[in-house]
Amino acid sequence: MVENPLKITESEHGQVITCPDYFDISVVSDARESFQRVVDGNPACITLDTDHTEMVDTAAMQLLVAFVKDAKNNGISVSYQGENDCVCRAAQALGLVEDLGLDCSQ
């Protein structure tokens, strides 16, 4: 079994999910389960930390969109820490900036 690709920690406002350096299809299944557990825990807020993500593929981006929509549908706010060029470029190329709630203006 693959080690959990996501690091999940508590913050004073909810939970912080740190995405892996290489976020691709090889970790999507395990990441999906982790995302679901976080949403099921119904935190007030979830912060996605993508600061160290160096590579992301389409499968991971699709998972992020599904996760953000699921969280919002459950009344959980989602914010970002460390929006980086890699994630923003992928979101822009795939037309997912708005779906993910990213601010890629930098």
Domain holding 68, by residue range, is 7-100
Query: Which CATH number fits the domain that encloses residue 40?
Result: 3.30.750.24
Q: Is residue 106 part of a domain?
A: no
- Residue 1's pLDDT is what? 43
pLDDT tens-digit map of 20-54: 999 999 999 999 999 999 999 999 999 999 999 99
- Residue 53's pLDDT is what? 93
What are the Cα distances from residue 23, in Å, to 17, 30, 61, 73, 78?
A: 13, 11, 9, 24, 19
Q: Is residue 2 part of a domain?
A: no
Q: Is residue 1 part of a domain?
A: no
Q: Is residue 68 part of a domain?
A: yes
Burial state string for 60-79 with b = 16 or more CB within 10 A and e = fewer than 16: bbebbeebbebbeeeebebe
Question: Based on the structure, what is the number of domains in the chain?
Answer: 1
pTM of the entire predicted model: 0.91
Q: Is residue 105 part of a domain?
A: no
Q: Is residue 72 part of a domain?
A: yes
Q: Is residue 27 part of a domain?
A: yes
- Residue 106's pLDDT is what? 62
pLDDT tens-digit map of 51-71: 999 999 999 999 999 999 999
